[in-house]
Amino acid sequence: MSRRHLAILTATVLAAASLTACGSGEESGDSGKTLTYWASNQGASLEADKEILQPELDKFEQQTGIKVNVEVVPWSDLLNRLLAAATTGQGPDVVNIGNTWSASLQATGALVEFDDATLDKVGGKARFVPAALAAAGASGKPPAAVPLYSLAYALYYNKKSFADAGIAAPPTTWEELAQVGKKLTGDGKWGLAVEGANPSENAHHAFTFGQQYGGDWFDSAGKPSFDTPQNVAAVKRYIDLMAVDKIVNPSNAEYAQNQSVSDFANGKAAMLLWQAAGANLQSQNMAADAYGVAPVPFLASPPAGGKQVNSMVAGINIAVFKHTKNRDGALEFVKFMTSDAEQVALNKTYGSLPAVGTVAADPAFAADEQKVLAQTLGTSAAPLPQVPEESTFETLVGTAIKELFADAASGRPVTEDSVREKLTRAQRQMR
Amino acid sequence: MATTTTPAATPGRTKGTGKPAGPPGRRPRRSLLPYLLLAPAVVLELAIHVIPMLVGAWMSLLELTQFHIRDWSGAPFVGLDNYRVVLDVNSAAGAELLRSFRVTVIYTVLSVGLSWVLGTTAAVLLQRPFRGRAVLRALFLTPYALPVYTAVITWTFLFQRDTGLVNHVLVDQLNLLDDRPFWLIGDNSFVALLIVSIWRTWPFAFLCIMAGLQNIPDELYEAAAMDGAGFWRRLRAVTLPMLRPVNLVLLLVLFLWTFNDFNTPYVLFGGSAPAEADLISLHIYRSSFQTWDFGTGSAMSVALLLFLLLVTAGYLLLTNRRRNDA
């Protein structure tokens, strides 16, 4: 072969290689023997999650012969990754989704619908806790997922700080919380820690406060109603914990990496509003008997229309992509993950609550923390609006609150007008 | 950033190699080879840049929200409606885009300007050999060699209000300030972004100008010195005019890189930057990915592309005309 021919051959091979390179993407499990699973980050780290999940996945492989390749996706990336998978029809077979995204992802039409027949394949509708299943898609439509881990917000408090300040019991109203917070603030320590720059956390609190003030973020027609007087009052109440009560360290306005949990674990803050923080706190060397858990406070005198809600129905759902080439295997895996044994094992490790009723009474969930979470979920939690624009609401309202915290932290006044202006601006960005 | 240079493709070069071309009858076949060699680059350029750009332009004409992303063919065609929304400064989206555009222009001018001044100063001062020059050169180039994400994440730690090194030095050690300022939220976020951007960009300016300085013959400086020209005079009359070709390209490249910079603000602030530091690339990202409105986001992208094309064309036209006049 002459040099010229060789050169031409090389060029052709290169061109062909570059073309085929464009075509190779992440393929979903195409044989009956493998599944790709994107898990959300529930434990102390992505690595820890992998170590927790792997033995369970091995069990599943033993039982069914189906191998599950798991990737733990950090929360900051998960929604974008899901969106990309929905758009391209490429990617995982089974995924964990934040339950508040259910209706948004449902609207893409990329997820398998859990109608009654499909629900029967994973054990039947009756297995699942009704409130948790209600947070798996828009009402009136078959759920786009089934619940996997159930969570709720609770108030975590440092027992020693409370004892030192002579506080006998955790606060049950926001007014009390502000009062004890002031007693706990000083000498470089603060009453409460918040995750001020994390839009999702902010939006969750905006929802709960909104419910207590009688506000709704979407009207009955599903249109955004961000800047109602109730919502303005609700958001202002939350910001005022920093701006007026001054029980939150202004630095919290830049927290978005769970620094508030660390501050609480390290004793820099005496209270924290969080979902199932126990496992995380203990991984940061806070002894289980060093903190107490109580329900999130209510308003002392709620305005007309105010609801007795002190948490969203929080949780993680498990969903199957329609593009999977192994739907039966994927549903088999969902059934396995929501089976009694796995529900006890995984929820116990993560400190969350089971999403199926059959194991609710298991001793694994008898600790104080889980009792408070269960009580909240059972009596005073409400699901976030299950509308397609929910994820946009979290982003826009959460960011508006982040900006308000920034104002409060830099000493700018946060007034009803400034809150309303931010919420109006957020609402105008909804289409 | 799209910078593709294919100098070998220009006909002048292939003709000008001057080698005997073998028997005249076989010439046409031989001339196929350069195209074949270029084919992979062309294919990749099409696949990675041109086709996505065209798809983006098409997306900007659709109402592409979460209801339609799975099947674009079902997305309603809305013509120029997305452009009407984003370019109407009286609408919420338009006003936000304009604000972000203003921030980006100020950011770009300051970042490119200061990076250029720093790069030129350092390159000129390091032009003459002295002990330790190589060490200084290597040191100055370090930020350019570091991976962007790692470097910017480190900056986010430095800028933390309570635990960051910046406040520790300013407040605790030098006692310059009484209060610990915020760097990552509020007004100062723009300053923080600018500092990181200049820190990342100026070594590239330094590198280019240093290379340009190597091409200035010593005789010019000697002649200038004999005419009695001092440092400033030599800088103005010899160095800067001789660096002109380098600077023309350098400033354009820096402008495009900085204007489109996504990594720095994204890593520094996460997905949602404070209004004071809301650069346009991040703004478009938020409009597309966080609000799931890809039609509007694409319209913003296309508008940005047209703006950058316009500026680039104007810049090239202006500088070419000046060169022809000279």
pLDDT band at B27 (very low <50, low <70, confident <90, very high): low
* Test mutation, A198, A255, A429, chain B, max B CBs within 10 A: A429
Q: Which of A352, A394, A333 is nearest to A78 (CA)?
A: A394
pLDDT value at residue A20: 40
By CB atoms closer than 10 A (0-12, 13-18, 19+), residue B310 is exposed
Treating both helix axes as pointing N-terminal to C-terminal, what angle do A390-409 and A199-212 enclose, rounded to 10 degrees? 90
Number of domains in chain A: 2
Residue A8 domain flag: no
B14: pLDDT strictly greater than 60: no
Residue A3 domain flag: no
Whole-angstrom Cα distance, residue B253 to residue A10? 33
Non-local (6+) Cβ contacts of B38 within 8 A are B6, B8, B9
For residue A392, list chain B residues with Cβ-Cβ distance below 8 A: 290-292
Residue A376 domain flag: yes
- Residue with token string 């946009």: A392
Whole-angstrom Cα distance, residue A335 to residue A339? 6
A283 with A330, same domain: the answer is no
Whole-angstrom Cα distance, residue B197 to residue B264? 7
Per-residue pLDDT of chain A (431 residues; tens, 9 = 90+): 455 554 554 444 444 444 444 333 444 444 568 999 999 999 878 999 999 999 999 999 999 999 999 999 998 889 889 988 998 888 899 999 999 999 999 999 999 999 999 999 999 999 999 989 999 999 899 999 999 999 999 999 999 999 999 999 999 999 999 999 999 999 999 999 999 999 999 999 999 999 999 999 999 888 999 999 999 999 999 999 999 999 999 999 999 888 999 999 999 999 999 999 998 899 899 999 999 999 999 999 999 999 999 999 999 999 999 999 999 999 999 999 999 999 999 999 999 999 999 998 899 999 999 999 999 999 999 999 988 888 889 989 999 999 999 999 988 999 999 999 999 999 988 86
pLDDT value at residue B279: 95
Residue A235 domain flag: yes
> The domain that contains A131 carries what CATH number?
3.40.190.10
Whole-angstrom Cα distance, residue A210 to residue A183? 27
Q: Kindly report the CA angle at A255 between A254 and A261, in degrees rounded to 5?
A: 160
* Backbone dihedral angles phi then psi of residue A319, each to the nearest 5 degrees: -135, 160
A144 with A230, same domain: the answer is no
Q: How far A363 CA sits from the closest chain B CA (Å)?
A: 40
The rounded mean pLDDT for chain A is 90
- The residue type at B286: R
- The residue type at A190: W
A394 with A255, same domain: the answer is yes
Q: Average of pLDDT values for B201-222?
A: 93
Residue pairs between chains A and B whose CB atoms are closer than 8 Å: 117
A263 with A145, same domain: the answer is no
For residue B86, list chain A residues with Cβ-Cβ distance below 8 A: none
Beta strands per DSSP E along A79-145: 94-98
pLDDT tens per residue across span A254-287: 998 889 999 999 999 999 999 999 988 998 999 9
pLDDT value at residue B148: 92
The residue in chain B having the minimum alpha-carbon distance to the alpha carbon of residue A21 is: B44
B271 touches chain A (CB under 8 A): yes
pLDDT band at B19 (very low <50, low <70, confident <90, very high): very low
Residue A325 domain flag: yes
pTM: 0.84
For residue A8, list chain B residues with Cβ-Cβ distance below 8 A: 32-33, 36
A258 with A109, same domain: the answer is no
A356 with A396, same domain: the answer is no
Residue A24 domain flag: no
Non-local (6+) Cβ contacts of A337 within 8 A are A56, A148, A318, A346
A288 with A330, same domain: the answer is no
Whole-angstrom Cα distance, residue B295 to residue B62? 5
A218 with A362, same domain: the answer is no
A190 with A249, same domain: the answer is yes
The residue in chain A having the minimum alpha-carbon distance to the alpha carbon of residue B163 is: A251
Residue A53 domain flag: yes
B89: pLDDT strictly greater than 60: yes
For residues B4 and A333, which has the higher predicted lDDT (pLDDT)? Answer: A333
Q: How many residues does chain A have?
A: 431
For residue B290, list chain A residues with Cβ-Cβ distance below 8 A: 391-392, 395
Pick A108's closest partner by Cβ from B37, B40, B69. B69
pLDDT tens per residue across span B243-255: 999 999 999 999 9
Non-local (6+) Cβ contacts of A407 within 8 A are A243, A413, A414, A418, B186
A163 with A278, same domain: the answer is yes
pLDDT value at residue A1: 46
> Under an 8 A CB cutoff, do B187 and A410 touch?
yes
The residue in chain B having the minimum alpha-carbon distance to the alpha carbon of residue A268 is: B162
Cα–Cα distances in angstroms (integers) from residue A116 to residues A143, A146, B22, B49, B235, in the given order:
10, 12, 77, 46, 81
pLDDT value at residue B139: 93
Ordered DSSP codes for A153-214: EEEEEEHHHHHHTT--S--SBHHHHHHHHHHH-BTTBEEEE--TT-HHHHHHHHHHHHHHTT
Pick B161's closest partner by Cβ from A86, A254, A392. A254
The rounded mean pLDDT for chain B is 87
A96 with A227, same domain: the answer is no
Q: In a 3-state reduction of DSSP, which class is residue A270? A: strand
A177 with A147, same domain: the answer is no
> Under an 8 A CB cutoff, do B186 and A409 touch?
yes
Domains of chain B are 102-325 (1.10.3720.10)
> Under an 8 A CB cutoff, do A429 and B291 touch?
yes
Task: Tell me what ipTM this predicted complex has.
Answer: 0.80
Q: How far B163 CA sits from the closest chain A CA (Å)?
A: 10
Q: Which domain holds residue A99?
A: 34-151+313-382
Whole-angstrom Cα distance, residue A68 to residue A286? 34
Residue A27 domain flag: no
The residue in chain B having the minimum alpha-carbon distance to the alpha carbon of residue A424 is: B92
pLDDT value at residue A24: 38
